[in-house]
Each structure stands twice: as C-alpha cells, then as structure tokens.
Amino acid sequence: MSLESEFTNHFGAPPERVVRAPGRVNLIGEHTDYNGGFVLPMAIDREARIAARRRPDRRVRMVALDFGGAVSEFSLDAIEHVAEQTWSNYVRGVALFLQERGANLSGLDLVIQSNVPIGSGLSSSAALEVCAATTFQAFGGFSISQVETAQLCQKVENEFLGVQTGIMDQFISALAKAGHALLIDCRDLSYQHVPMPQGATVVVCDTTKRRGLVTSKYNTRRAECEEAARLMGVALLRDVSPTDLGRFETDMPPTVAKRARHVVAENARVLEAVAAMKQNNLPTFGTLMNQSHESLRNDYEVSCPELDTMVEIARQQPGCLGARLTGAGFGGCTVNLVADEHVAAFVANVAREYEARTGIRPPVYVCRPSAGASVAW
Ligand code: GLA
C-alpha cells in the first residue's frame, strides 16, 4: 500500500503534504567533519518519507510503517525523550529545537516510512531528522535555511539523542543536488556541488555487521583528535599541514600521532579527489579511495575484518576503480567506484564471494546521486 493510502487508513483523511529526505554515502573524507575538515558525500536514491496533515490542536501523532505501524504521540507543549518507540525521538527532538529557536509549529498527524537501511551507515537517522524538519517547515510558522536545518538536526543527534556525530550526514541530506556530490568545508560550512564523473557508478556493499555509534569507539576517536590538536596548539586538526605534523609527530603519543596522520592526509585526499572528479579522472579518484581505506584501517583503526574482506573482494573485480569503508566504520558499508559496463557483474560477484567467505548474503545497492530534502507535493 502506498504511503498516502496508509495515511488515509490511519487518520481517516488524505495527507496534505508528502516530504522526503535522502540517506547518503560518503565518497571520501572520513572522520574529518568533526575536525573542521573536508568531506565529499553524495545523497543516495533511498530516502525517508513523511506524509503529513495539519491538526487543529498542538499534538503530534506519528505512525512508523517500518516498525509494524507503531504509534507514538506527544504534545508540542511538553516534549520529552522517550525510552520506548525510540524512532519517535527524531521527530520529538526536531520539534523541540525548532521551537527553541522561535518556530511557531502546528500540530500534525504523520505517517513515516523509509527505505534507507537502518544502522548500516547510510544515515537513516539524518534522513529522518531532516525529513521531520522539512515537514514542520512545510506547514509554515517559521523560516530556516538548509544549512541551519542541517545544524539543527545535528544538534538533535548530539544533544537529544546523545550521539556525538559531526555535521556531514545532516548537511548532505538537506543540501544535496541530483547528479552531484557535495564538497563541504566543515570549518565554515561553505560548500560546492561537484558533478559526478561520467563512466562510473557508485555501488554500496553492506557487510551486515551492525554497530551502534553510541557504543562504538567513535567518541574515543574524537577525543584522540582533540588531544592531537591540543598538543599541536591548534583549535582543529584541519589547521595542521603535513609539514606541521612532521614536526610534532615524534613528540606525541604514538596512537594520537596515528589518528592525526589519518585526518591530515584525508583532508588533502578530499581536495585531490575533487580535482580528479572535475577532470573526470576516474583512476586517480579510485586510488584516493583505496588510500583512504588503508589510512582508516592502519592509522585511524576503524575498520574490521568484515569491511576489509568486502574491500578485498571488490578490488579483485574487473572495473573496480576504488573501494573503501564509508561512514563511521566498525561495520556497516563499503563504497565502491565501478566502471559502468562492469556494474552488473560486480554486484553479482561481490555478493556471491562475500557469501562464500562469510556465509552472509550482503545487500548491495547501486546508487544514483540524488537531490536533498524536498516537499514532494
Ligand atoms: C558518522 C558521523 C559523521 C562522520 C562519519 C565519519 O557517519 O555521523 O558525522 O563523522 O561518521 O566520517
């Protein structure tokens, strides 16, 4: 049944609006966002969708189709974090912080559905946050830029849900342009849409290994980066050049030095990757992706056997230009750049080989660079 019919079934009248916001895959620039560095994500053709209708009161009633039609409800005058129906906290947090910045929200009935796989590193949470913010906005009562929307949704993640992520995921979900990747300078939030190269396709392979950001070593990595910046006397690792790093490296604890080495090198790789993309230089782009994975595995230590296996299998396939883990790491997905004519065989062979080695049939997604959040109608 369509989202619209589900809405009518639940609430007895059709929705007034349907809003969408995409998930994302990061092409290159990993663990750089919270260091004020560069990232190059692309929105994928998987998205969260919300059908909505205004209510005459100040209540928000929500139905989540992906959780068996689970229902949750709150008043805009008393928004609390809840321990059950945790999916509803994304909408609650967005409403809370929108009101905190002066938005005059109206009560809504909502039906939520998403085809961004949950917990696999494709930003299902950011998609839902940005979708919720865009939905409230569609019913008026305030104005907010897309950059502010991303910032507000990051605040929801950090302060309402207690997950210390950077801004990349919310930013790309809010600001993506179809057919393009997005270069974001996470220090000043300036950005540039970069056309995707011709002749290659982005393929995402899911190891199916799940990890929660809260329990992962994500926060430890952030702390190690802050320590490295402090030891080098800068506010952000972004401000460290490879030469600076060379001067300080030997005086730092070895682990902290390794983390810094990844971040400094990864920032440089993002800018090289953008230059390669603009020249449609696919081999260089792919080589940079491969280097990113090596750095994440050896220096940043956020890979795992499942991710390394998936990358290794991918690189053995004809037409694979580059393969790396994407997102936070410790599980989740890899991103691969594959020559167009080899995509079908790549998808079949990687899935078959990963299953042969691990016993797990991995979901593989051929991704189209998609547009950021919008009111579908
Ligand atoms: C997660 C976070 C992002 C970013 C990546 C690593 O996806 O949500 O902000 O830090 O990890 O690059």
Q: Which domains does the chain have, with CATH numbers?
A: 3-193+371-375 (3.30.230.10)
Average pLDDT for residues 190-218, to the nearest whole number?
89
Instruction: Of 203, 260, 189, 196, give the one whose Cα is nearest residue 229.
Output: 260
What's the confidence (pLDDT) of residue 210? 85
**CA 166 to ligand 1 center in whole angstroms:** 6
The atom number, within ligand 1, closest to the CA of 30 reads: 12
CA of 141 to the centre of ligand 1 (A): 31
Token pair for 33: 């966002």
Model confidence band, residue 215 (pLDDT cutoffs 50, 70, 90): low
* Ligand 1 atom 11 nearest Cα: 328
pLDDT of residue 288: 99
Overall pTM surpassing 0.85 (yes/no) = yes
Q: Tens digit of pLDDT for each residue in 266-290?
A: 999 999 999 999 999 999 999 999 9
Q: In testing the pocket of ligand 1, which one of 125, 130, 168 has its CB within 8 Å of the most ligand atoms? A: 168
Residue nearest ligand 1's atom 2 by CA:
165
Closest approach atom of ligand 1 to CA 167: 9
Q: How far is the CA of 45 from the centre of ligand 1 (A)?
A: 19
> What is the distance between the alpha carbons of residues 105 and 112, in angstroms, rounded to a whole number?
18
- Choose which residue among 25, 32, 33, 39 to substitute to test ligand 1 binding: the one with the highest number of ligand atoms within 8 A of its C-beta: 33
Task: Tell me which of 169, 188, 206, 308 is the catalytic residue.
Answer: 169
Taking 70 as the threshold, does the pLDDT of residue 30 lie above it? yes
Pairing label, strands 17-28, 374-375: antiparallel
What are the tens digits of pLDDT across the range 349-374?
Answer: 999 999 999 999 999 999 999 999 99
- In percent, the amount of the chain with pLDDT more than 90 equals 94
Length of the chain: 377
Taking the CA of residue 39 as reference, the ligand 1 atom at the shortest distance is: 12
Q: Is 109 a catalytic residue?
A: no
pLDDT tens for 68-121 read 999 999 999 999 999 999 999 999 999 999 999 999 999 999 999 999 998 889
Share the mean pLDDT of the chain. Answer: 96
Residue 241 C-alpha to ligand 1 middle, in angstroms? Answer: 22
C-alpha of residue 131 to centroid of ligand 1, in Å:
19
Q: What local confidence, expressed as pLDDT, does residue 216 receive? A: 67
pLDDT score recorded for residue 213: 56
What is the whole-number distance in angstroms between the Cα of residue 345 and the centre of ligand 1? 30
- Nearest in space to 116 (alpha carbons), one of 66, 184, 164, 182: 66
Q: CB within 6 Å of ligand 1 — which residues? A: 26, 30-31, 33-34, 165-166, 168-169, 327-328
Residue nearest (by alpha carbon) to ligand 1 atom 7: 327
